[in-house]
Chain A
């Protein structure tokens, strides 16, 4: 891929922190879904934070994709939390009749990680993780 990265997926202990950096079209959103699901398996992640603060809208397709990620992750043994939904985006989701389904949401990254610590158990220290650079 050329140009600035659209998304990044970083590993932190047994968690993955996935950040969307810009508005994504459906193809990019689907690619993000595949990459993230693949990383969950490869890194044996137990928790996933998806930061959507940079998304301009969460329309039906984007919301549906987040739900799908959350449900696939759950089947693979990971808990997903979506963070950074902007107030006006949240308002539009409500008006649209959309929500993130069984996927939990939190205000920001810090609260998302705190939520994961509560439901998954505390993160293992980063030094104990294996694998290459994220």
Chain B
């Protein structure tokens, strides 16, 4: 946004719009400064106000420019507050049907209510009724099951799915966002329900690296999803995360009581190598470490990025292939340290390394 410079007020027509707006700067500054203490933030809001007034100046009566600027400044400040507050509030909860009356005032509560209403409207009739009966009217699953001619377990599962769907629809409605691709809703739903098998089927991890909308919405969904003690997810953005990833893998695998100290060090070393590859070649990505029960007990590591991809995977798996110092032992070395090792890479889309170490003898 071009900064609007202060200028002398020149009275009488013809006055260029920008001059008229520039003359409003001291007043706008006063209005914003009275409400926002942070100098940098205040200056940003002043600039945004002026840009809006400038854009509207052709449509506003000459005598109306000043009151219009005052109203705009107040609006811009209020929006900034609301935005800040909304982000803070939504860190903790994604959706709560029995939201208490919000002290922040009518507008906010209204916004919240309409997002919940829009989300509910997107559920199936059956899901909606079950949720409302359970969450708002306080009916338990047993009595709902009796009424629906179902079992308490089936009702609980239905409620779980309905809640997961509601959280997704709520976030979309709250942000007034329409998902950009057909894959978005299935991915978000799989995240929201914490269904790992489903997440794998829809390749949720990769989609989150590629889709900004889902990446933003996925964060609160993942935070809200029940904490798993058999999975750890480490966002990778730099050197220090290489250490964090290998230590997390060692810690999680160590809890299984089936790996020797040597096994754990082999695993940690392999994780170090594949994570470093993310940092070096893609800049960022994520590493997921999870406990497997099928077909055997073990630990699986998924390292994925949305980087440039590897043009020749076969060659990358040969010793000595490297474009950075480290003797090129990264990928082939990691493969030697693990029981299973697979790379999927697409140029321009990114790379996913999946590797597993099984419990017990090798």
Contact present for B262 and A96 (CB under 8 Å): no
B261 interface residue (CB < 8 Å to A) = yes
Chain B interface residue count, CB cutoff 8 Å, equals: 30
Cα-based distance from A42 to B309 in the complex (angstroms) = 44
CA of A61 to CA of B279, assembled, Å: 13
Q: Is residue B111 contacting chain A, with contact meaning CB distance below 8 A?
A: no
Report the bound CA distance from A27 to B336 in whole Å: 26
Residue of B nearest to A59 (CB): B272
Q: Considering the chains assembled together, what is the distance between the CA atoms of A56 and B246 in angstroms? A: 9
Q: Across the interface, do A26 and B276 meet the contact criterion of CB distance under 8 Å?
A: yes
Inter-chain contact A88/B262, CB cutoff 8 Å? yes
Whether A60 contacts B329 by the Cβ 8 Å rule is yes
B273 touches A60 (CB 8 A): yes
Q: Is the CB of B333 within 8 A of A25?
A: no
Complex A-B: 6 CB contacts under 8 Å: A25-B242, A26-B279, A27-B240, A57-B268, A60-B329, A97-B329
The residue in chain B whose Cβ has the minimal distance to the Cβ of A67 is B327
Residue of A nearest to B325 (CB): A64
Q: How far is the CA of A26 from the CA of B260 in the complex (A)?
A: 26
Encoded as 1 (CB less than 8 Å from any B CB) or 0, chain A from 26 to 70 comes to 111000000000000000000000000000111111001000000
Cβ-defined contact, B242 with A91, below 8 A: no
- On whether the beta carbons of A59 and B325 are closer than 8 Å, the reply is no
| Nearest opposing residue in chain A for B267, CB measure | A92
Smallest distance from the beta carbon of B251 to chain A beta carbons, Å? 11
The yes or no answer to A3 lying at the interface (CB within 8 A) is no
Instruction: Report yes or no: B269 in contact with A27, Cβ–Cβ below 8 A.
Output: no
A91 touching B265, Cβ below 8 Å = yes
Contact pattern, B 264-289, Cβ under 8 Å of A = 1, otherwise 0: 11101100110010010000000000
Q: Once the chains are docked, how many angstroms separate the CA of A92 from the CA of B250?
A: 14
- Evaluate contact between A97 and B336: CB separation under 8 angstroms: yes
CB of A23 within 8 A of chain B? yes
Given contacts A59-B272, A59-B273, A60-B326, are A95 and B242 in contact (CB under 8 A)? no
Given A61-B276, A92-B262, A95-B336, A56:B239 Cβ within 8 A: no
Q: Is B258 engaged at the interface, CB distance under 8 Å to the other chain?
A: no
Known contacts A26-B239, A61-B326; is-contact A56 B262 (Cβ 8 Å): no
Chain A 1-39 near chain B by CB (<8 Å), digits 1 or 0: 000000000000000000000011111100000000000
Known: A57-B269, A57-B272. A88 touches B261 (CB 8 A): yes
Q: Could you tell me if A57 and B265 are in contact, using CB atoms closer than 8 angstroms?
A: yes
Contact across chains for B243 and A96 when beta carbons are under 8 A apart: no
Tell yes or no: B303 within 8 A of A by CB: no
Q: How far is the CB of A99 from chain B (nearest CB, A)?
A: 10
A92 contact from B239, B265, B326, B327, Cβ within 8 A:
B265
CA distance A64 to B333 in the complex (A): 14
- Asked if A87 is at the interface of the complex by the 8 Å CB criterion, the answer is yes
A59 and B269 contacting across the interface, CB-CB below 8 Å: yes
C-alpha spacing A96/B240, complex, angstroms: 22
The answer to the question of B330 belonging to the interface, with a C-beta cut-off of 8 Å to chain A, is: yes
Let me know if A60 and B327 touch, CB within 8 A. yes
Q: Do residues B329 and A96 form an inter-chain contact, with CB atoms below 8 A?
A: yes
- Min CB gap A34→B, angstroms: 14
